[in-house]
Structure 1
């Protein structure tokens, strides 16, 4: 399953569980009213198990469910087990950015960084920082890379980890989304790190 599909599936499961929760409360009230305490205990146990299933292994990074799901979905991939992933920052639960757009930008940027560092030198590291300043959401992702490409990258050639038909498509999609939010995307390179800074302007109505 692609990362975007995986995140969407996880998100829909949690949203459905939350939507149905008021019905669960009504059902438990009915069991209490009828004195069916053994059934109530059984019902509560089932709800607790469902909650554990939805939240098992999930790591909270930013405090925003969609962003956390994207980070978790990519960094837990076995092909990235050698990558030293570090994170810092926090975000509001409501970003003022559509979930599909967050996924399009962040999943592409983070996956590119993770894949690029695997092709690099001995050190394989990705550092991600996020924040919210006034009405702007910021993401910074920096990764180690193949330092033999430093001159080419410093000369303006952007590194894409994709091959074949997918080469550059993700970057174009990122730029399109960033533009739609009156944001900007900046690339910087030094002999050790490639850094991508992404800024998105929050919208009042999503």
Structure 2
């Protein structure tokens, strides 16, 4: 919560200073310098603007942080989640599920050329179940063996834990996770029953 409060404060300061930023850009005769200045301000606005409103502050914070990672790595991140009906879930479980899934998606995107990096996350409640669908670019370097994904990293003890954590957390809520992939896209779907 402290991190979110600090970011919100910085965001308010940035918006407050916007008039001065615009003045500086308006009267700078050097077009190239002005364009560079505009790009920096746009990136700051994008990074600190509150663009997530899922109905859960923990999920909003996770999405905000992962969006910043995407911005810094030229990954297009599209997100549309309504998580209001999932207040029964514990904060640490929400953080674990979405942080691990998005970290994996970002990691996969980094193996793809920048112009093709893309992550789409959508989620909503349907009847008495929350469904989230995540798709991300991939280079097709997927190691799937015995109905499990194997880490492609050299230190097997320290990696591959995130997905196991997601599965065990979902199990706590009688939820499940499904995967699919093709040549260029990896798909993840999570299903969580709403009590």
TM-score, structure 1 as length reference: 0.64
Distance 1:84 1:144, change over 3 A: same
Q: Select which of 172, 181, 184 maps to 1:189.
A: 181
Residues 134 and 189, structure 2, Cα contact 8 Å, conserved in 1: yes
Following superposition, the deviation at residue 141 of structure 1 comes to: 1.1
Report what 2:133 is aligned to: 140
Which one has the largest radius of gyration?
A: 1
Matched, 1:173 2:165: yes
CA RMSD, 1 decimal: 3.1
Is the 1:121–1:145 Cα contact (8 Å) retained in structure 2?
Answer: no
- Tell me, in whole angstroms, the C-alpha distance in 2 between the residues paired with 1:110 and 1:99: 16
Which digits, 9 at most, give the CA deviation of each residue in 1:57-105, with x for residues without a partner?
2222423222111111111027743101112342217532111100011
- Name structure 1 gaps, 5 residues minimum: 1-7, 15-48
Q: CA separation of 1:160/1:68 partners in 2, compared to 1, >3 Å: closer, same or farther?
A: farther
Query: 1:21-74: CA deviations, max 9, x gaps?
Result: xxxxxxxxxxxxxxxxxxxxxxxxxxxx79936x95222242322211111111
Task: Specify whether residues 50 and 106 from structure 1 end up closer, same or farther in structure 2 by C-alpha distance, changes over 3 A only.
Answer: closer
Q: Which residue of 2 aligns with 1:106?
A: 98
| 2:119 aligned counterpart, secondary structure | strand
Q: Are 2:45 and 1:52 equivalent residues in the alignment? A: no
- In the alignment, the residues of structure 1 paired with residue 101 and residue 164 of structure 2 have an alpha-carbon distance, to the nearest angstrom, of 11
**Match of residue 19 from structure 1:** none
CA distance in 2, matches of 1:163, 1:124: 24
Q: Which residue of 2 aligns with 1:86?
A: 78
CA distance in 1, matches of 2:154, 2:59: 26
Q: Secondary structure at the match of 1:166?
A: coil
Deviation at 1:172, TM superposition (A): 1.1
Unaligned runs of at least 5 residues, structure 2: 16-47
Q: TM-score, normalised by structure 2?
A: 0.67
Provide closer, same or farther for how the CA distance between residues 103 and 90 of structure 1 changes in structure 2, counting only shifts above 3 A. same
Alignment of 1:59-98 (within 5 A): 59-77=51-69, 80-92=72-84, 95-98=87-90
Aligned length: 158
Q: How does 1:18-29 map to 2 (within 5 A)?
A: none
